Amino acid sequence: MYKTTNPLIWLCRIRHRCGYGVHSPYAFRFITDILYMSLPYYAYDELDRNLPFRCMFRVRKILHMLLRLSNWRQPGTIICLSAHAYVRQYLQAGCRKAEVYECIPEGKADLCWLDGPDERIVSHLGEQSVLILDHLNRHRTWFRSLPAVLTFDLYDIGIALFDTKYNKQHYTVNF
C-alpha cells in the first residue's frame, strides 16, 4: 500500500483502466462505482484531516476506495489483520454498525483486510465476504489460489469476492 507505482507498470496496464474489456455488468459496476468513483463521500474530509503527512496521493486513493467498498458491502464484521489504525478508521467509517476485529473471531467475516497471506482466514469467509489483500505483487500466487469467484488485481491491492452466483473470473484493473 505504501509503494509508489512505477510509471512503466502503469503504462503497461493502461488498457485495463476504467473497466475497459470487462463484459460482466456486475464487475463493470463494481469497477466504475466502487474503484473509480470520483465523487466525494461524506467522511473524506474528516478522515483525511487525521492522516499523517507521509500519506501520499496513492495511499489516500486506496483509503478512499476502502471506505467506498465498506459503504457498498455494509459488513457486519470487519477483520483487519496487521493494518494501520487509519485503515481501520476508513473501513469503520464506511459502515459504522460494523464490528472491527484485529484478530480472527468465531464465525464468518464479511470484510477482511490482510497485509499478507493467512490460511486461517479462508475458513471464515462466506459467500457474501470480501477479502482485500495488501502487497498483492508479493503474494500473487496465494491470492490466485483462493476459492474466490471474482478477483480484481489492482497491482498493489487484490480484492476477492466470494459470491457463487457469478462465474469465476479474474480482472486486471489499472488503479
Domain around 115: 7-172
pLDDT at 62: 86
Given this model, what pLDDT does residue 14 score?
59
46 found inside a domain:
yes
Stretch 107-121: mean pLDDT, rounded?
89
2: in domain: no
What is the count of structural domains for the chain?
A: 1
pLDDT band at 21 (very low <50, low <70, confident <90, very high): low
Is 127 within a domain?
A: yes
Q: Is residue 72 part of a domain?
A: yes
Report if residue 1 sits inside a domain.
Answer: no
Calculate mean pLDDT across residues 52-56: 67
Q: 9 falls in which pLDDT band (50, 70, 90)? A: low
Q: Does residue 140 sit within a domain?
A: yes
What is the pLDDT averaged over residues 110-134? 89
Average pLDDT estimate for 106-111: 88
Structure confidence at residue 2 (pLDDT):
41
- Please check whether residue 121 lies inside any domain of the structure: yes
- Other C-beta atoms lying within 10 Å of the C-beta of residue 150: 20
In a domain, 163, yes or no: yes
List, for residues 130-173, the tens digit of each pLDDT value.
999 988 888 889 998 998 999 998 888 999 999 888 888 888 88
Which CATH number do you get for residue 146? 3.40.50
Closest CA relative to residue 143, chosen from 165, 115, 163: 115
